[in-house]
Amino acid sequence: MTRPSENEEEYILRQELEKRRDAVRAKQAELADDERASLKELHWMRCAKCGAELQEVEFRGVKVDKCFSCGGVFLDDGELEQLAGRPGWFDGMIKIFRPT
C-alpha cells in the first residue's frame, strides 16, 4: 500500500474541512435569530480553553485575542495569513505572548 502524496493529503483535508464547514453552516441556519444572538453574547470574546475574558492586543499590525488567564492566543479568520507573510513573526509571537 502506498502512502498518499502531500497533494492528495491536502485535497482530502480540504474536502473534510468543507464538509465540516457546510455542517456548521446548516446547523447555524436552523437556529432562530434570538438563539443565535444569545449564543454570541454568551461566548463573545471568551477564551475557548478556560472561559476567561479575552483582551485584544495588537501584534505587528494585527489585532489578536489574548487570554491572560491561561495564556491562549486566538486568531480570527485571515489573521494567521497576515502574520505568516512577515519574517520572524513566529519567534516574535513566542517572545511576546509566552507566559512569564
Looking at residue 25, the DSSP 8-state letter turns out to be H
pLDDT 10s digits, 10-46: 888 889 888 988 998 888 888 778 887 877 777 788 9
- pLDDT bin (cut points 50, 70, 90) of residue 80 is confident
Domain ranges of the chain: 1-44, 47-100
pLDDT reading at 1 higher than 70? no
- C-alpha grid cell for residue 55? 483582551
- In 3D space, the residue among 70, 76, 65, 36 whose CA is nearest the CA of residue 51 turns out to be 70
pLDDT reading at 100 higher than 60? no
Task: Output the average pLDDT for the chain.
Answer: 82
Residue 31 falls in which region: left (phi positive, over 0), alpha (psi -120 to 50) or beta? beta
Per-residue 3-state assignment (H helix, E strand, C coil) for 25-75: HHHHHHCCHHHHHHHHHHHCCECCCCCCECEEEEECCEEEEECCCCCCEEC
The rounded distance, in Å, linking the Cα atoms of 53 and 44 is 9
